[in-house]
Structure 1
């Protein structure tokens, strides 16, 4: 099948590589064309605009950073909504506000597209291995049409209901993990007087009821950074994590709900981003905190 990937940041690139690996003909577009070069070298075809990408592919997977990027890529000149959408399948994997997914999905459906939201849990490693966790929203027939592709990308697929439901679930999934990374940094801070080796400290903290599954993959890397070693490849960028927390807090406000713990963690992520860690892995929030000097 000819599948387009609209947005080739870290996750979009990993998804495109997975699609190439399982035998699809892949087209790509990114606002910065240089970010598509590694994929074209791997066999993908680059397109000049989102509209041309959709026109040239049977299905298009969209993976964009935030709501503003989604609005621009869908509604801008030569955007997705300018394509010949009748009969096309759009699978949007971006993490955005549920109302954004509802409005862009409705606009695409009005032009004859089958539109499915499928934000995913998992970082670049699981994406390359086809082991993401999809939270899907959309019409039953559209979800069924998307399922064969999702099954090649995901270890688990959960249909949540109408458009917006998948995005709601994704925000709920990310929120406690991101709060945990900040809480871990605070835990490491109060452990400083113990002077334990980083490997032992992380091992102890990992073997407790409060530790998320993500520590199985990231704990050793966090210990390396605490030992002064380089962190290696970013799996989930701190800037993207900050955006996800901000989106959750904003969405809660639209429901007249408060997320005080998430809002506090968000302020810490904003501080870390301002300190130059935007492109670092989200777990940098944990290793930064013990070294941080409190504001006077």
Structure 2
């Protein structure tokens, strides 16, 4: 839990940095390192202080209190979900410590509804808000090749664009309202989950017909399903390599359910997303919760006709 903070006047914080990264798990740490490599002065804060030590060695300034995060004019946050964003930025009072004109760039996958709420709350505090969720896992983040989907007031997006470009292959601007970026992100997560399940089914068909999984994946990804999602997850499926996880079924179900909620708010039904949510739940309950969500394929390999409801 993040304790409520006292406002920290910017002149009292003994750091002079360009950007602060809040949340230094695998993605956040990679982003912080790439910002340093790009020549920016970077600070970081994380609830688990132990995660900051390797970044300090890489030249990142460690912040001890959440109230210090807005000692930089721009804050990048890389948090897990809606609850974490609420705890760190809304409930703690940290926005009260932000100087007028500061900008919060939220790179997390959160609900479009929360993004809309966040934009209003930030505006009420005189703080800019840009949504910038990412496509790409930790290895892609380490390579600085993320695809970032940004939305927000055009002048704010342009202000933070150089920072976003320092950690990405491309910045895709999709609108002036922050929630638009999160709509794109949750829609994309449905596509990725669909690709994993589709590849899992295709491989299972082939394996039960005595065809080698690696051959199948190479053939499919070289012809009818090219692209990094099918190639990367197809490789994991063929090798049955589900650990360590790049992205878990727990997080996958969260994102698919965000897409379902967004669709429902507009009166749209998502039959495939409904099924994916159930399949991810099955994987979690079968013990794959901390594996990669490519473990959907393990479930599929053992799914017999009567289990599939046929």
Q: In the alignment, which residue of structure 2 is the partner of 1:15? A: 31
The answer for the alignment partner of 2:151 in structure 1 is 137
In structure 2, the residue matched to 1:257 is 268
Q: Is residue 138–residue 163 contact of structure 1 (8 Å, CA) maintained in 2?
A: yes
Check 1:234–1:253 CA distance in 2 against 1; reply closer, same or farther (3 A cut). Answer: same
Q: Residue by residue, what CA displacement relative to the aligned partner does 1:133-166 show, whole Å, maximum 9, x if unpaired?
A: 1211111111110111111112122221122111
The structure 2 residue matched to 1:269, chosen from 262, 266, 280, is 280
**Does residue 46 of structure 2 align to residue 35 of structure 1?**
no
> Which residue of 100, 111, 119 maps to 2:114?
100
Distance (whole Å) between structure 2 residues aligned to residue 27 and residue 274 of structure 1 = 39
Question: Matched residues in 2 for 1:86 and 1:240: separation?
Answer: 34
> Could you say if the C-alpha distance between residues 49 and 275 of structure 1 is closer, same or farther in structure 2, counting changes exceeding 3 Å?
farther
Deviation at 1:123, TM superposition (A): 1.3
> What stretches of structure 2 of length at least 5 have no aligned partner?
1-16
Q: Residue 22 and residue 180 in structure 1: after superposition, are their counterparts in 2 closer, same or farther (change >3 A)?
A: same
Q: Give the Cα–Cα distance (whole angstroms) in 2 for the partners of residues 62 and 52 of structure 1.
A: 14
Q: Which 5+ residue runs of structure 1 have no aligned equivalent? A: none
Aligned partners of 1:3 and 1:59 also within 8 Å: yes
Match 2:193 to one of 178, 182, 185: 178
Distance 2:248 2:37 in 1: 24
Computed over aligned residues only, the root mean square deviation of the Cα atoms, in angstroms, reads: 2.2
Q: Which structure has the larger Rg over C-alpha atoms?
A: 2
Separation of aligned partners in 1, 2:183 and 2:90: 23
Cα distance, 1:231 vs structure 2: 4.5
Aligned positions, number: 290
- Tell me the secondary structure at the aligned position of residue 184 of structure 2: helix
After superposition, the C-alpha distances for 1:231-279 in whole angstroms (9 at most, x for unaligned) are 5543333322221111101111111211110110111112212323222
The TM-score, its normalising length taken from structure 1, stands at 0.89
Q: Is 1:148 matched with 2:159?
A: no
Query: Is 2:292 aligned against 1:281?
Result: yes
* 2:119 is equivalent to residue 111 of structure 1: no
- 1:5 is aligned to 21
